[in-house]
Protein backbone atom coordinates (compact mmCIF):
# COMPACT_ATOMS: atom_id res chain seq x y z
CA UNK A 1 0.00 0.00 0.00
CA UNK A 2 2.69 2.50 0.99
CA UNK A 3 4.81 1.57 -2.01
CA UNK A 4 1.95 2.23 -4.41
CA UNK A 5 1.24 5.60 -2.78
CA UNK A 6 4.90 6.54 -3.21
CA UNK A 7 4.81 5.54 -6.87
CA UNK A 8 1.62 7.55 -7.46
CA UNK A 9 3.14 10.55 -5.67
CA UNK A 10 6.15 10.20 -7.95
CA UNK A 11 3.90 10.42 -11.00
CA UNK A 12 2.20 13.50 -9.54
CA UNK A 13 5.55 15.17 -8.93
CA UNK A 14 6.58 14.52 -12.54
CA UNK A 15 3.31 16.14 -13.57
CA UNK A 16 4.19 19.13 -11.39
CA UNK A 17 7.59 19.29 -13.10
CA UNK A 18 5.90 19.29 -16.50
CA UNK A 19 3.53 22.03 -15.38
CA UNK A 20 6.51 24.02 -14.08
CA UNK A 21 8.35 23.57 -17.37
CA UNK A 22 5.47 25.33 -19.09
CA UNK A 23 6.32 28.43 -17.08
CA UNK A 24 4.43 28.28 -13.79
CA UNK A 25 6.41 26.85 -10.88
CA UNK A 26 4.49 25.55 -7.88
CA UNK A 27 6.52 25.73 -4.63
CA UNK A 28 9.59 24.16 -6.27
CA UNK A 29 11.39 24.49 -9.58
CA UNK A 30 10.87 21.83 -12.25
CA UNK A 31 14.24 20.19 -11.65
CA UNK A 32 13.49 19.94 -7.95
CA UNK A 33 10.15 18.28 -8.71
CA UNK A 34 12.01 15.76 -10.87
CA UNK A 35 14.38 15.01 -7.98
CA UNK A 36 11.42 14.57 -5.63
CA UNK A 37 9.78 12.24 -8.15
CA UNK A 38 12.94 10.19 -8.55
CA UNK A 39 13.37 9.88 -4.80
CA UNK A 40 9.75 8.86 -4.28
CA UNK A 41 9.98 6.30 -7.09
CA UNK A 42 13.13 4.74 -5.65
CA UNK A 43 11.60 4.49 -2.18
CA UNK A 44 8.37 3.13 -3.64
CA UNK A 45 10.16 0.37 -5.53
CA UNK A 46 12.26 -0.42 -2.45
CA UNK A 47 9.15 -0.71 -0.25
CA UNK A 48 7.37 -2.91 -2.81
CA UNK A 49 10.38 -5.22 -3.11
CA UNK A 50 10.73 -5.47 0.68
CA UNK A 51 7.01 -6.23 1.05
CA UNK A 52 7.24 -9.01 -1.52
CA UNK A 53 10.16 -10.65 0.29
CA UNK A 54 8.31 -10.52 3.62
CA UNK A 55 5.23 -12.22 2.15
CA UNK A 56 7.18 -15.35 1.23
| Secondary structure class of 26 (helix, strand, coil) | strand
Task: Write out the H or E segment, with its range, that includes residue 47.
Answer: helix 30-55
∠29-33-36 over CA atoms, to 5°? 140
**Per-residue pLDDT tens for 17-54?**
999 999 887 888 999 999 999 999 999 999 999 887 77
pLDDT at 55 over 70: no
Q: Where are the domains of the chain?
A: 2-55
Q: Assign 9 a pLDDT band (cuts: 50, 70, 90).
A: very high
Q: pTM for this one?
A: 0.82
**The predicted structure's pLDDT at residue 26:** 80
Amino acid sequence: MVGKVLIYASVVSVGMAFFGALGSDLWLASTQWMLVGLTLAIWGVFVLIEAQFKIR
